[in-house]
Structure 1
Amino acid sequence: MSSNNRLTTSWGAPVGDNQNSITAGSRGPTLIQDVHLLEKLAHFNRERVPERVVHAKGAGAHGYFEVTNDLTAYTKASFLSEVGKMTPMFIRFSTVAGELGSADTVRDPRGFAVKFYTDEGNYDLVGNNTPVFFIRDAIKFPDFIHTQKRHPQTHLKNPNAVWDFWSLSPESLHQVTILMSDRGIPATLRHMHGFGSHTFKWVNAQGEAVWVKYHFKTNQGVKNLDVDLAAKIAGENPDYHTEDLFNAIDKGDFPSWTLYVQIMPLDDANTYRFDPFDVTKVWSQKDYPLIEVGQMVLNRNPDNYFAEVEQATFSPGSFVPGIEASPDKMLQGRLFAYSDAHRYRVGANHNALPINRPHSPVNTYQRDGAMRFDGNGGGSAYYEPNSLGGPAQGGSQQKIAPFEVSGEADSVAYDHDDHYRQAGDLFRLLRADEKERLIRNIVGAMKPVESDEIKLRQIAHFYKADPAYGQGVADGLGLSVTGMSSK
């Protein structure tokens, strides 16, 4: 047998017998000196890293991004610097609320996280398949996710918590309307759009900045699942989306998306009709039309799910020169929370793993930590500044664009509290049959709620978005909305 195909221990020694433990005679007991047995059992006990708190169930693929339009007037990001430039990337799709073993075809937003391995470091665009979110301040995120998880006593999903929170958080109405519409259950991961959701800042080589939003439009067309069919598939093949993506790529049917951006001049943020950094709102495409950027194509499946999909780590704070943060309060919280989750879940050196490691050179003074598996800097300089020729800062071209800050430090809400106009506009855009399914989905989701007070409070939000919206849900639940106002 060749040495390349010989079973070894984790320390490289050949294994003579992998079928039988070392025992004292044929009936044992087993000897503690069977270190191969002990190593196998001990490693098996530690094969699982902590599950992601959100986005636990996911599927991933490799591919590339190709620039099709010159947008250097807006950003100096190197991977967008010329038409035809191609950048390798990895994407992870996911559900939000379910556990690692949950079904793919549940009603839930889908994570849409893209890692671009650019020549100036990794750029992570960590969004969803919806352009908005349920809340707009990161301080509410732990509470929101608690409502999506299991009751601490019964360990069952809790519709009372879900709708109690939403009814007391009217900013959620826009996203709730999307979630409960046909778009709440995509047919496959290939047949849905993706969005950066947040507002970001682009900066060009002259230091001029604009605000930007990202839209990935599926080239396969948008397709959604019927509620009853989705439930049937969830029972028969809970990994349906994962399987579909793998099989499509495996047979050469490579899915693709066209990336567009909306671009807003900096000063418009001060005069636009709502706060453009509020992630519960969309920008009108009449005001800021979509501009094509390039094509994303997925053409290679992972070789190992754990190594590439489970250990993949994404952070909205992984920027490259030319792309920066905005004052979006949800984004500001995510800049910290995502990388911190990975430090806990995978380890302090998660960015050194092959799936996360940049394709460009990495020169840091970070040392040590659990699972440091490279040279750890050897004997080179391990502090900065130094006079030993160690890596030095790049200067003004790599610094962020200056921006003004003002005001008193305080716990301050967004200035705009119209949570109903955009949800109502979306409702009115739907065809009659789409409205009917939306209302039926909401009624089905709210029926288990035990409190009529919670139901009526939520119905009032639907009614303010559009009276027909609120009335339809009320009728479905057998509740009266007499005296409700759309004002």
Structure 2
Amino acid sequence: MTVQQEKASGPLTTESGAPVADNQNSEVAGLGGPVLLQDQHLIEKLARFNREQIPERIVHARGAGAYGTFTVTADVTRYTRAKFLSEVGKQTEVFARFSTVAGSLGAADAVRDPRGFALKFYTEEGNYDLVGNNTPVFFIKDAIKFPDFIHTQKRDPYTGSQEADNVWDFWGLSPESTHQVTWLFGDRGIPASYRHMDGFGSHTFQWNNADGEVFWVKYHFKTDQGIKCLTQAEANRLAGEDPDSHQRDLRESIERGEFPTWTVYVQIMPADEAATYRFNPFDLTKVWPHADYPRIEIGKFELNRNPDNIFAEVEQSIFSPAHFVPGIGPSPDKMLQGRLFGYADAHRYRVGINADQLPVNRPHATEARTYGRDGHMYDGRHGRAKNYEPNSFGGPAETGAPLWQPAAVTGYTGNHAAPSHPEDNDFVQAGNLYRLMSEEEKGRLIDNLAGFIAKVSREDIVDRAINNFRQADAEYGKRLEEAVRALRG
């Protein structure tokens, strides 16, 4: 054992040296309740992670953006009181940013990686940010594991390269990732362009109507251009020939007047059905089957204007899942709860405390009226106005009307895992996805996975990774094992 290994042994601690009791589950208010701000370990991990690099984004650094419109096509007022969804035909200005997750600002576009699908709706009640991906699920279900996961996708601190050992060690020890990994290494793992991919809100969100009724929703954005993807060989060639392929395609299509569009759907679950649903409906590693909750069309999303300055409008654009408007709110999804803090905090660090007042980020259909003052790049917009509340000088005052409905919580605080439902399982949906594939799709999936797993140096990491897929589907695991063994000789 080396001196460095000796120093690394012993209990995991916080930055101040206190032992960490639970590094798998964030602290919540009772079983299934929302995450607590008092979880110092979670806050410390997320805040420190957000500050690891400067100035580019830690994740989603490589991206492209455009402006457009969202148009309501169906009456959803029985579900939500959000004004931008209040009538058929209503249009709202939107800014979208698409991105890869793991690559740096100088990386290529055509790589096997999830794509960020971030939207900013400039509504008359303030900006609403919907920050999702091009997949309906994710690798983990609790934000306390997010820094660890991203570290496995980034450069190793010793080698300076992404290491297959790190990636598959984490995935093998995190069975909940099996569903998303199956998505990522399948045919849709490398979109041919940003125009030819679907988008998802991924998380479960709350909608609430004028009568105070609560519904849980999931967002789907289905590309009207049709799904087009790249094989690994095509992506390898394109990444070398044109690293800017996806950014170029989006910009040039808009310049030609070929405006990309997506049809927008939601799945809606009445709030009282969540507790007895067969699996946890707030688990980000799972989808809601359409047979249970069919998609309902609600709108059309179009991109029709390119930004004039990439740095000012794309790099300095910020999105936060915490930017809600009346009628829309969070759910007890533990990944979402962590992102409510993590994203806004990252932008305050990366762009600055006044980032929300940059032209691309500030409200376009209303005005921000706050008591925040000073800080980097402050423009003095408040003049002589008072900087405290309450005051008797005519300053802005609270409304007393919450944006979303409260959720009941019971039990003791603690580092609880999510509540158990009858069919909570890390492998069922991954197996279902595999069995939906054609024989040709299965073959490409196996080849893509085997090519990466074969690079792992330790047999125990290989065996553990393959075993997760075996538990999803026996044939899936058997074929993968055979393909990996053939490559490893």
TM bracket, shorter-chain basis: 0.7 to 0.9
The alpha-carbon distance between structure 1 residues 301 and 49, as it changes in their structure 2 partners (threshold 3 A), is: farther
Decide which of 404, 411, 416 is 1:407's aligned counterpart.
Answer: 411
Decide which of 82, 95, 106 is 2:100's aligned counterpart.
Answer: 95
Decide which of 285, 290, 293 is 1:280's aligned counterpart.
Answer: 285
Instruction: Describe the superposition over 1:224-243 as per-residue Cα deviations: whole angstroms up to 9, x where unpaired.
Output: 11211110000110110000
8 Å CA contact retained: 1:58, 1:92? yes
| TM-aligned CA deviation for residue 381 of structure 1 | 2.1
Match runs of 1:3-152 below 5 Å: 50-152=55-157
Question: What CA distance in whole angstroms lies between the structure 2 residues aligned with 1:55 and 1:114?
Answer: 14
Question: What CA distance in whole angstroms lies between the structure 1 residues aligned with 2:58 and 2:407?
Answer: 34
Secondary structure of the 1:334 match is helix
C-alpha RMSD of the superposition = 1.3
Q: After superposing the two structures, state which structure 1 stretch, 283-292 or 385-394, moved more.
A: 385-394
Question: What CA distance in whole angstroms lies between the structure 2 residues aligned with 1:68 and 1:49?
Answer: 42
Q: Which residue of structure 2 aligns with residue 370 of structure 1?
A: 376
Structure 1 counterpart of 2:321, one-letter code? P
Secondary structure of the 1:270 match is coil
Question: What CA distance in whole angstroms lies between the structure 2 residues aligned with 1:192 and 1:155?
Answer: 31
Question: What CA distance in whole angstroms lies between the structure 2 residues aligned with 1:408 and 1:299?
Answer: 50
Q: Which residue of structure 1 aligns with residue 162 of structure 2?
A: 157
Q: Which residue of structure 1 aligns with residue 42 of structure 2?
A: none
Q: Which residue of structure 1 aligns with residue 356 of structure 2?
A: 351
Question: What CA distance in whole angstroms lies between the structure 2 residues aligned with 1:380 and 1:97?
Answer: 43
| TM-aligned CA deviation for residue 400 of structure 1 | 2.8
Under a length normalisation based on structure 2, what TM-score does the superposition of the two structures give? 0.87
Decide which of 204, 217, 222 is 1:212's aligned counterpart.
Answer: 217
| TM-aligned CA deviation for residue 334 of structure 1 | 0.1
Q: Could you say which structure has the greater relative contact order, defined with CA pairs below 8 angstroms and 6 or more residues apart? A: 2
Question: What CA distance in whole angstroms lies between the structure 2 residues aligned with 1:136 and 1:125?
Answer: 18
Decide which of 235, 238, 246 is 2:243's aligned counterpart.
Answer: 238
Question: What CA distance in whole angstroms lies between the structure 2 residues aligned with 1:406 and 1:218?
Answer: 41
Instruction: Describe the superposition over 1:430-462 as per-residue Cα deviations: whole angstroms up to 9, x where unpaired.
Output: 000000000000001111100111111111111
Secondary structure of the 2:195 match is helix
| TM-aligned CA deviation for residue 388 of structure 1 | 1.3
8 Å CA contact retained: 2:374, 2:380? no
Matched, 1:456 2:460: no
Matched, 1:427 2:434: yes
Secondary structure of the 2:396 match is coil
| TM-aligned CA deviation for residue 395 of structure 1 | 2.4
Q: Which residue of structure 2 aligns with residue 34 of structure 1?
A: none
Instruction: Describe the superposition over 1:188-237 as per-residue Cα deviations: whole angstroms up to 9, x where unpaired.
Output: 10000000000000011111110000000000011111211110000110
Question: What CA distance in whole angstroms lies between the structure 2 residues aligned with 1:93 and 1:248?
Answer: 15
Secondary structure of the 2:292 match is coil
Question: What CA distance in whole angstroms lies between the structure 2 residues aligned with 1:462 and 1:63?
Answer: 41
8 Å CA contact retained: 2:449, 2:480? yes
8 Å CA contact retained: 1:49, 1:346? no
Q: Which residue of structure 2 aligns with residue 473 of structure 1?
A: 480
Question: What CA distance in whole angstroms lies between the structure 2 residues aligned with 1:138 and 1:255?
Answer: 33
Question: What CA distance in whole angstroms lies between the structure 1 residues aligned with 2:71 and 2:175?
Answer: 40
Secondary structure of the 1:202 match is strand
Q: After superposing the two structures, state which structure 1 stretch, 416-425 or 153-162, moved more.
A: 416-425
Instruction: Describe the superposition over 1:289-332 as per-residue Cα deviations: whole angstroms up to 9, x where unpaired.
Output: 00011000000001000000000000000000000000000000
Question: What CA distance in whole angstroms lies between the structure 1 residues aligned with 2:96 and 2:128?
Answer: 12
Structure 2 counterpart of 1:106, one-letter code? V
Structure 2 counterpart of 1:207, one-letter code? G
Secondary structure of the 1:189 match is coil
Question: What CA distance in whole angstroms lies between the structure 2 residues aligned with 1:185 and 1:456?
Answer: 26
Decide which of 359, 363, 367 is 1:361's aligned counterpart.
Answer: 367
Report how many aligned residue pairs link the two structures: 431
| TM-aligned CA deviation for residue 478 of structure 1 | 1.5
Structure 2 counterpart of 1:234, one-letter code? A
| TM-aligned CA deviation for residue 399 of structure 1 | 4.2
Q: After superposing the two structures, state which structure 1 stretch, 49-58 or 290-299, moved more.
A: 49-58
Question: What CA distance in whole angstroms lies between the structure 1 residues aligned with 2:231 and 2:405?
Answer: 47
Question: What CA distance in whole angstroms lies between the structure 1 residues aligned with 2:404 and 2:198?
Answer: 30
Question: What CA distance in whole angstroms lies between the structure 2 residues aligned with 1:374 and 1:286?
Answer: 54
8 Å CA contact retained: 2:207, 2:404? no
| TM-aligned CA deviation for residue 406 of structure 1 | 1.0
Decide which of 366, 386, 392 is 1:387's aligned counterpart.
Answer: 392
| TM-aligned CA deviation for residue 410 of structure 1 | 1.1
| TM-aligned CA deviation for residue 466 of structure 1 | 0.5
Q: Which residue of structure 1 aligns with residue 208 of structure 2?
A: 203
Matched, 1:436 2:440: no
Question: What CA distance in whole angstroms lies between the structure 2 residues aligned with 1:65 and 1:247?
Answer: 21
Q: Which residue of structure 2 aligns with residue 318 of structure 1?
A: 323
8 Å CA contact retained: 2:329, 2:403? no
Radius of gyration: which is bigger?
A: 1
8 Å CA contact retained: 2:328, 2:403? no
Instruction: Describe the superposition over 1:358-397 as per-residue Cα deviations: whole angstroms up to 9, x where unpaired.
Output: 011111111111100242x11112111111111111123x
Secondary structure of the 1:242 match is helix
| TM-aligned CA deviation for residue 49 of structure 1 | 6.3
Secondary structure of the 1:313 match is coil
Question: What CA distance in whole angstroms lies between the structure 1 residues aligned with 2:464 and 2:407?
Answer: 41
Q: Which residue of structure 2 aligns with residue 20 of structure 1?
A: none
Identity %: 61
Structure 2 counterpart of 1:454, one-letter code? I
Q: Which residue of structure 1 aligns with residue 45 of structure 2?
A: none
8 Å CA contact retained: 1:166, 1:458? yes
